Amino acid sequence: MVRIAITVSFLAAVLGMASAISVDGRAPTVKASLKKVSTVTDSKNIVAHDAARLNGYFKKNTLEARKSGATTGSGAVTNEIFSYIAETKVGSQTFDLIVDTGSSNTWVGATTKFKAGSSGSSTGKSVSVSYGSGSFSGTEYTDSVSIGGTAVTKQSIGVASKASGFTGTDGIVGFGPEDLTEGTVSGSSEVPTFMQTLVSEGVITDNILGVKFAALTGSESSSSDGELTFGGVDSDAYTGDITYTDRTGDYWGVNVKDFKFGSTTLSSSTASGIVDTGTTLLYIPTAAYDKFLSASSGKLDNDSGLVKFTKKPTSDFTFSVGGTTYTLTPSQYLISKDQYENWGISSDSDYYTFIGDGGSDSPNTILGMSFLEFYYSVFDTKNDRVGLATAA
């Protein structure tokens, strides 16, 4: 499969500001577009990447582990994933960074090496983060950072001297809670996220991030239809109302329950979930997943690593977050056959985009891209809550 040159088109900040000025006189929201790209040749590598992220980063790299100085392990994982990329300028250089709400450090240098210019300086502190599906270590710098023209002048960034699991991208811009930076930089309790610096430097008033993802259509292998909104939400990106739920746990956590496939209840127990832009699939608790296989005549396909069906499903898959029910229809949860090449699938069978969590401990549900491409998401640090709404 031909690798895609990663570029991001920018929605001009002037237009974004003009369209988003609020009536109460607050600083306007600003927007930047995202590009979705595929580096996949085998769908099993998507599953392996996501599983390593779930079982490594989310399970082991907890606040308690970082406080105690415990190390985190990361096995060899092929970097074949779908990614939403933000073209990010650090100093005078431009990097292609993965947009990740499951981590909070911003770092560069995995592919394109960082060259400090006049605006950047080393703090002399070491920085190290493990993601389960990859890791990096290096030195902390402060420098100007700009995404789609939305800029800060003094942001903490990690400059990698060593990185694994990030071939084809340059690093990560982290949009998780600040707590996740604890213990990652030597001599610092926590470091400010990009969103926090936007607020402290007066670029935006409210620490609120709106995220619009957009599924690839037809046989396209890249798309620039995604969007970040800094400081608020884009009312044109969703329909109906945004439903908010209080954040739980260390990450952008939510409680998830009432898993159903059609009229069959898969689980009514409350699961610990995470809304995560850095995970491709939708992970659900093992008990619900096993019952789903039975109810849908699906089975785990060893060739693809995904769920394959002997008969194409026609029932909706639903679950609730904060008392609101969210639905994925068959056309949404089944991988389009036009996209099989981008998933590295050679069979003509039907495949589902969610999988079981493998019996791991909390969290055991991840609402990844396969869900977020149909639901607009809001990460509201100001009010410590997560919002979801039907994507426009």
Per-residue pLDDT reduced to its tens digit, 227-269: 999 999 999 999 999 999 999 988 999 999 999 999 999 999 9
pLDDT at 25 > cutoff 80: no
Q: Is the peptide bond before 192 cis (omega within 30 degrees of 0)?
A: no
Query: What is the reported pTM?
Result: 0.86
- Residue 272, pLDDT score: 92
Segment 189-216 shows an average pLDDT of 95
% of the chain beyond a pLDDT of 90: 62
Is residue 348 annotated as part of the catalytic site, yes or no? no
CA distance 250 to 56: 15
Are the C-beta atoms of 335 and 343 separated by less than 8 Å? yes
Q: What is the DSSP letter of 212?
A: E
User: Which residues have CB under 8 Å from 61's CB, separation 6+?
Assistant: 72, 129, 130, 131, 132
Which CATH architecture is the domain 235-391 placed in? Answer: Beta Barrel (2.40)
Segment 147-153 shows an average pLDDT of 94
Cα 55–Cα 60–Cα 64 angle in degrees, nearest 5: 150
The answer to whether the 13-212 and 235-391 domains have the same CATH topology is: yes
Q: Which residue has the higher pLDDT, 313 or 165?
A: 313
% of the chain beyond a pLDDT of 70: 83
Q: Which of 42, 50, 96, 100 is catalytic?
A: 100
Q: Map out the domains of the chain as residue ranges.
A: 13-212, 235-391
Per-residue pLDDT reduced to its tens digit, 29-81: 777 777 787 666 678 878 877 877 776 645 444 444 444 333 333 233 334 46
- Residue 3, pLDDT score: 29
Answer whether CATH 3.40.50.2300 is correct for domain 13-212: no
pLDDT at 283 > cutoff 70: yes
Is residue 143 annotated as part of the catalytic site, yes or no? no
Per-residue pLDDT reduced to its tens digit, 266-282: 999 999 999 999 989 99
Q: Which of 42, 206, 276, 380 is catalytic?
A: 276
